[in-house]
Amino acid sequence: MVEGRSEKAFARWLAERPQSFRERVKAVAMDAFAGYKKAAARQVPHAVEILDPFHIVKLAGDKVTAVRCRLQREATGRRGTRTDPLYRGRRILLKTASLRTDRQKKRADELLGDPANKPLALAHGAYQKIIACYAQEDRRKGRGMMAELIESLAVRGSAPGCPELVTLGRTLKRRMADILAFFDHPNGANGPTEAINGRLETLRGIALGFRNLDNYITRSLLHTGGFRQAVQNHL
């Protein structure tokens, strides 16, 4: 756990590691933040830069949510409430299509089949295709599917009425090499790290934040039982 989320913080942490450590780094899995990419390129230029699948899926899911919220405001002039179909389907839309129940499939089809929700159907389709690419057991096939999807989203006019999807397409195209690198490196995902980070973020929320990094680290260890053995020995 390192204080700061910036190019400088990451570059400094890498620079503080022994040269032997940096030489052994073969790949760096990261989110789409450009600062991490710059720091990695400067400190471990020989390492392969990989955009982690978790962040790509989340990025696409955020676009689905953005489109849904925009359509809700355009249709009603307000945010969604529990009686609004778009709001009620917010979680279903982000669920992997193959994992939906029959009732959820019906509700999703009703929402996406509405002509007024065509932009949402486009964003949702891209989101589900991205999930399908990563779900492919054959990495070569998954790589080809992802490359084809990115190229299609980069084509002008491919997402009429959906500027959110256009923005996503530009981002994916710009980082295409880093996205496709995942399929060439079996260990190029930081899923376990993200799972741990999720627990830490929950802890920080419960504590309403930590002003002191040492206190944050100590509380995290206590929360996960990191001091359990030492405490038992003391008793």
pLDDT in tens, 20-32: 999 999 999 998 8
- Residue 222 CA to residue 230 CA, distance in Å, equals 11
pLDDT over 60 at 229, yes or no: no
Higher local confidence (pLDDT), 112 or 225:
112
Q: How many CB atoms sit inside 10 A of residue 71's CB?
A: 21
Residue 49 CA to residue 32 CA, distance in Å, equals 11
Rounded mean pLDDT, 207-214: 79
Pairing of strands 27-30, 48-51: parallel
Q: What's the number of CA atoms in the CB half-sphere (13 Å) around residue 41?
A: 7
Q: Where are the alpha helices (DSSP H) in 53-188?
A: 53-76, 85-88, 90-94, 102-113, 118-135, 139-154, 163-174, 176-181
Which residues are CB-contacts of 73 (< 8 A; sequence separation ≥ 6)? 79
Tens of pLDDT, residues 129-138: 999 999 999 9
Look up the pTM and report it.
0.83
Band (pLDDT 50/70/90 cuts) for residue 180 is very high
Residues 47-77: tens digit of each pLDDT:
999 999 999 999 999 999 999 999 999 999 9
Residue 188 pLDDT: 82
Q: Tell me the sheet residues that pair with 66.
A: none
Cβ–Cβ under 8 Å, residues 6 and 28: no
Percent of the chain with pLDDT strictly greater than 90:
73
From 93, 90, 89, 69, select the one nearest 79 (Cα to Cα).
Answer: 69
| pLDDT band at 203; cut points 50, 70, 90 | confident
| pLDDT attached to residue 25 | 94
